[in-house]
Amino acid sequence: MASRSNEPRSKKHKGGDHRRKGKAPASASTPDFDSHRFKSYQHQLRFNNEIACAGNPVRERCLVLEEGEYDEIWDLVSYYKWWDLFTPLERAAESIVKEFYANVDFQKHLEIKDYSSFVRGVQVKFDASTLAKLLKCRTFKECSYQRRYDQAGTKEETIEVICKPGTHLRNLKVRSTDLTRVARSWSQLIHHNIMPRSNVSDLTVDRSQLIVAIMLREPINVGQILADSLLEFAYPNRQFVVKHASLITKLCVAQKVPIPVADRTLTPMNPLNRRAIDILDDEPVVPDDPPVEDEDDTAPLDGSRLDRIEALILQQQERIDQFQHSMQERADQFQHFMQDSWASQRQYYDERFTRIDTHLMQMTQQFYFQPHPTGLEAPSVFPPTGDDVAGGH
């Protein structure tokens, strides 16, 4: 039988306490955080540093059309069953939305493709199926938008489907002024409700191809697009802007998150109705000279290309001359201003010095020539004359 007589006894430490055999030393304590609102101290830190002081939000927009008003838009909304998608809440809870973004776990998403967050003690899921069920959207087995975005569509098809006649594109990035009225209406809805963006003057490739897919009635799984959009905007180390406020509030309400009553609210922007669509420009584009594409730079220049290049050089030279002339005029004006300012300042100080000299002269005369208070005259600073000596002074 093994004996325990040779085992060392536990040593007594300072303070009279004893360590138990096999117990690891206590680790450094984790900083305190609000465990009801945040998953960890790091999530609370991100909320305080990046999200709490976020700027103006990108507000969602409601689509309001009566029967007979732009039926081509409403028919597509009905085809995809996007009624709830384009009907945001009148008020969204700002604190709930910001805590939702702060608690998204990106490391977990990279490992197991987890689309979830943590809001007021509740795990909130925002995967594609959850969002589609919440918004009652139509789902498809495949998504034409994803294929278009991966493979990129053609410029000819993009111009034909969403652009005004006479539009020329260098790539699939489209200016909003080149869109038809209906396509521009879809651009407004996409930039506010599906893939929010502050700058709506240009359509990026993904957004332009989404409009093409919508107007061609291709299969689109908007739930996956919204899930990826929520995940993208919650990504840390980027300038945070509140987006999808109504959608996140709907998610939290559906999943039994307690919504604070006395909370700051976010409201949608003005609805997109017939009047708002009517003012969108739908005039054809007056094309300039079409851009020269797919030309071999090593080919010899013909006469027409040389004339265009020479005209561009002359135009740039005229602009440079105009700029130099403008700068010379400004320099002359500044020089005249400085000269006039110096002359006026010099005149001002000359007048002040003259007044000061006059005042000092008057004070000197009063001091030496006024009668003394005792009846005696003040001592003269001038040498005595002969009359003064004869008079006994």
Structure confidence by residue, pLDDT tens digits, 194-232? 999 888 888 888 888 899 999 999 999 999 999 988 988
pLDDT value, residue 31: 77
Structure confidence by residue, pLDDT tens digits, 271-323? 999 999 988 865 555 554 444 444 444 445 455 667 677 777 877 877 787 78
Q: What is the mean pLDDT of the chain?
A: 79
Structure confidence by residue, pLDDT tens digits, 336-376? 788 877 887 888 888 888 888 888 888 887 777 666 555 55
Distances (CA, A) of 268 to 87, 88, 183, 307, 311: 10, 7, 21, 54, 50
Q: Output the CA angle 180-183-189, nearest 5 degrees.
A: 140
Beta-ladder partners of 174: 203
Amino acid at 325: H
Name the more confident of 166 and 372: 166
Q: Whole-angstrom Cα distance, residue 200 to residue 292?
A: 28
Are 212 and 157 in contact by the 8 Å Cβ rule? The answer is yes
Structure confidence by residue, pLDDT tens digits, 176-186? 888 999 999 99
| pTM metric for this prediction | 0.64
Structure confidence by residue, pLDDT tens digits, 242-275? 899 999 999 999 999 998 886 788 899 999 999 9
Name the more confident of 31 and 160: 160
- Write the DSSP string, 46-76: HIIIIITT--S------B---TTSSHHHHHH
Q: Which residue has the tokens 């604190």?
A: 95
Name the more confident of 111 and 64: 64
Beta-ladder partners of 202: 175
